[in-house]
Structure 1
Amino acid sequence: MRPVVPVELLAHLRRARDVADRNYAEPLDLAGLAAAAGVSKYHFLRCFAAEYGETPMQYVTRRRIERATDLLRATNLTVTEVCGMVGYSSLGSFSQRFTELVGMTPTQYQWTQTGARIPGCFVFMLGLNSAIPEKHPEAAGAYRRTNDEEEQ
């Protein structure tokens, strides 16, 4: 049977959860979240877990990973950039937590969700820009000038 959280404490728990939602990318700890709720950290821990079914730090971790999945799916950021943006200072810790919660590594997730985007710098570095004239006829003149200059 689930422990009952006092009704008067629910608003305080929501306030702390809102702080975690707004500040997920910043360093968060149990004491800071408990202070936002206005209760002792151990009482906060018990009540938060009873009400939401996970500890405050599990909640923060889940929110960070949810945000990371959004960033990996919708942007062209690297896994390292996303790691820092969602509040992790260690790429290893981020990758481990991501894999535990999502079921694949951040890189695998990004490749399966985005259709394996290749960053533009790699396209030009590897000489894959030969497709430019076919796809963008208006750029063909500039492309030919650049290649002619390189050959000389």
Structure 2
Amino acid sequence: MTTAEEQRLRDLAQLRRVRDRIDREYAMPLDVEALARGVNMSAGHLSRQFRAAYGESPYSYLMTRRIERAMALLRRGDMSVTDVCFEVGCSSLGTFSTRFTELVGVPPSTYRAEAANASVETETTDEMPSCHTRQVTRPIRNREARGPGTPLASSS
């Protein structure tokens, strides 16, 4: 194995550590500088490498994890939107609501109300396994969403 290949593998291992830390500590006050210090990189280098490896910036990945967790808490229905915002590590309700709406397509209060209505309607049916619930309710980033009239599969 060449030195360049060895370095690439070391870099990928560091990026996995950063991603794993975000997954574990999403509710903590994390920023790109702190994540970069943890793997002895500059913030700019980490951001470029992370985007090249995972297709999004570390901040975007962090916010997606936070919004996913917020969706689960809002579906439970026992917490206010403000409480959920702070529970998932966001410090600004406005930023949280804006990002939630961008990723999910509806404001958190609407999502919570719709989830409550859906749970009342499906109380008599079997519960969907949590692994399927996470997959079905995962937030869709704008670049992943289908545009109007876009076919699900090509007809070629």
Q: Confirm or deny a common fold (TM above 0.5).
A: yes
Q: Which residue of 1 aligns with 2:68?
A: 66
TM-superposed CA distance for 1:43, in Å, is 1.4
Structure 1 residues 26-46: Cα deviation after superposition (integer angstroms, max 9, x where no partner): 111111111222222221111
Which of 97, 100, 111 is 1:98 aligned to?
100
What SS does structure 2 have at the residue aligned with 1:98? Answer: helix
Asked if the contact 1:13–1:48 (Cα under 8 Å) also holds between the matched residues in 2, the reply is yes
Whose radius of gyration is greater, 1 or 2?
1
Q: Which residue of 2 aligns with 1:7?
A: 9
Q: Which residue of 1 aligns with 2:49?
A: 47
Alpha-carbon distance between aligned partners in 2 of 1:49 and 1:55, rounded to the nearest angstrom: 5
What SS does structure 1 have at the residue aligned with 2:106? Answer: coil
Flag structure 2 segments of 5+ consecutive residues without an equivalent. 120-156
- Which AA in structure 2 matches 1:57? Y
Asked if the contact 1:48–1:54 (Cα under 8 Å) also holds between the matched residues in 2, the reply is yes
Sequence identity of aligned pairs in percent? 50
Flag structure 1 segments of 5+ consecutive residues without an equivalent. 118-152
Alpha-carbon distance between aligned partners in 1 of 2:96 and 2:81, rounded to the nearest angstrom: 9
Tell me the matched-pair count: 114
Where does 1:1-150 land on structure 2 (aligned, <5 Å)? 6-115=8-117
Greater relative CO (CA pairs within 8 A, separation 6+): 2
What SS does structure 2 have at the residue aligned with 1:6? Answer: helix
Asked if the contact 1:110–1:116 (Cα under 8 Å) also holds between the matched residues in 2, the reply is no
More helix by share: 1
